[in-house]
Chain A
Amino acid sequence: MHRYDKENDEVVSQEEACVGCHRCVTLCPTNALTVHKNQLQFKSHGNWTDWAIRNIYKQAETGGVLLTGMGNDRPYPIYWDHLLLNASQVTNPSIDPLREPMELRTYLGRKPERLELDLGREVLSLKENIPPQLKLETPILFSAMSYGAISYNACEALARAAEILGIYYNTGEGGLHPNLYKYGKNTIVQVASGRFGVHKEYLDVAAAIEIKIGQGAKPGIGGHLPGEKVTDEISKTRMIPKGTDALSPAPQHDIYSIEDLRMLIFALKEATRYRKPVSVKIAAVHNSAAIASGIVRAGADIIAIDGFRGGTGAAPMVIRDNVGIPIEFALASIDQRLRDEGIRHQASIVVAGGFRNSADIFKAIALGADAVYIGTAALIAMGCHMCQKCYTGKCNWGIATQDPYLTKRLNPDIAVERLVNLINAWSHEIKEMLGGMGINAIESLRGNRLALRGIGLTDTELNILGVLPAGR
Chain B
Amino acid sequence: MKRIFIREEFCIGCRLCEIHCLVAHSSSKDIIKVFKKEKPRPISRIIVEQKGYNSFSLQCRHCDKPYCLEACMSGALYRDEKSGAILQDKEKCVGCWMCIMVCPYGVIKREINNKKVSSKCDLCIDREIPICVERCPNQALILKEV
Contact with A along B1-26 (1 / 0, CB 8 A): 00000010111101010011000000
Q: Does B31 contact A (CB under 8 A)?
A: yes
Q: Does B32 contact A (CB under 8 A)?
A: yes
CB under 8 Å from chain A, chain B span 63-114: none
Size category of the binding interface on chain A: 10 to 19
Are B53 and A405 in touch, CB under 8 angstroms? yes
Q: Does B137 contact A (CB under 8 A)?
A: yes
Size category of the binding interface on chain B: 10 to 19
Q: Which residues of A contact B138 (CB under 8 A)?
A: 408-409, 411, 414
Query: What residue in chain A is nearest B19 (Cβ atoms)?
Result: A29
Q: Does B140 contact A (CB under 8 A)?
A: yes
Q: Which residues of B contact A90 (CB under 8 A)?
A: none
Q: Which residues of B contact A27 (CB under 8 A)?
A: 14, 16, 137
Q: Does A91 contact B (CB under 8 A)?
A: no
Least distance between B80 CB and chain A CB atoms (Å) = 29
Q: Does A342 contact B (CB under 8 A)?
A: no
Q: Does B28 contact A (CB under 8 A)?
A: no
Are A413 and B12 in touch, CB under 8 angstroms? no
Least distance between B10 CB and chain A CB atoms (Å) = 4
Our pick among A29, A403, A408 for the contact of B16 (Cβ within 8 Å) is: A29
Are B139 and A414 in touch, CB under 8 angstroms? yes
Are A30 and B140 in touch, CB under 8 angstroms? no
From A26, A409, A411, residue with most partner B Cβ within 10 Å: A411
Least distance between A420 CB and chain B CB atoms (Å) = 15
Query: What residue in chain A is nearest B23 (Cβ atoms)?
Result: A29
Contact with A along B24-46 (1 / 0, CB 8 A): 00000001100000000000000
Query: What residue in chain A is nearest B7 (Cβ atoms)?
Result: A411
Query: What residue in chain A is nearest B10 (Cβ atoms)?
Result: A411
Least distance between B14 CB and chain A CB atoms (Å) = 6
Are A409 and B12 in touch, CB under 8 angstroms? yes
Q: Does A404 contact B (CB under 8 A)?
A: yes
From A403, A408, A409, residue with most partner B Cβ within 10 Å: A408
Our pick among B7, B14, B31, B137 for the contact of A30 (Cβ within 8 Å) is: B31
Tally A-B pairs: CB < 8 A.
30
Q: Which residues of A contact B11 (CB under 8 A)?
A: 408
Are A408 and B139 in touch, CB under 8 angstroms? no
- A29 to B135 alpha-carbon distance, docked (Å): 9
Q: Which residues of B contact A411 (CB under 8 A)?
A: 7, 10, 138-140
- A403 to B53 alpha-carbon distance, docked (Å): 9
- A29 to B16 alpha-carbon distance, docked (Å): 7
Given contacts A27-B137, A30-B32, contact A408 B20 (CB under 8 A): no
Least distance between B46 CB and chain A CB atoms (Å) = 14
From B10, B31, B135, residue with most partner A Cβ within 10 Å: B10
Are B12 and A29 in touch, CB under 8 angstroms? no
Least distance between A351 CB and chain B CB atoms (Å) = 34
Least distance between B88 CB and chain A CB atoms (Å) = 26
Interface residues of B (CB under 8 A from A): 7, 9-12, 14, 16, 19-20, 31-32, 53, 135, 137-140
18 extra A-B contacts, CB within 8 A, seeds A411-B7, A411-B10: A27-B16, A29-B16, A29-B20, A29-B31, A29-B135, A30-B31, A30-B32, A403-B53, A404-B53, A405-B53, A408-B10, A408-B53, A408-B138, A411-B138, A411-B139, A411-B140, A413-B139, A414-B138
Q: Which 3 A-B pairs have the closest CB atoms?
A: A404-B53, A405-B53, A411-B10
A to B CB contacts below 8 Å, 29 in the list: A26-B137, A27-B14, A27-B16, A27-B137, A29-B16, A29-B19, A29-B20, A29-B31, A29-B135, A30-B31, A30-B32, A403-B53, A404-B53, A405-B53, A408-B9, A408-B11, A408-B12, A408-B53, A408-B138, A409-B12, A409-B138, A411-B7, A411-B10, A411-B138, A411-B139, A411-B140, A413-B139, A414-B138, A414-B139
